[in-house]
Amino acid sequence: MVDLQKIGQACSKTMHIVGIIPVIQTQTREQRSDLKVSMDFETLLGAYLDTKPDLKNKKKKLIEKAILLYEEARFEEQEI
């Protein structure tokens, strides 16, 4: 038989702990209000890359590669 009173007494000090929650500083996300659903893929990607200064010198090559991968994926979908 389990004595709930003894268990309650043994755990009484720990019952005050509700939870251990880490404090995380949230990052402010940048808003990309210049992106619209009606834009084509290349324009959307170009506008996105414009917000990334570290990728500015690779923008053209990244867009070309992304378009190539996009077309390959579309081709594979059509084969299925």
User: What is the rounded CA–CA span in Å between residue 70 and residue 22?
Assistant: 40
Q: What is the mean pLDDT of the chain?
A: 82
pLDDT at 19: 61
Mapped onto helix, strand or coil, the DSSP state of residue 46 is: helix
Supply the DSSP symbol for 16: G
63 close to 45: Cβ distance less than 8 angstroms: yes
pLDDT category of residue 66 using cuts at 50, 70 and 90: very high
Domain boundaries, the chain: 34-80
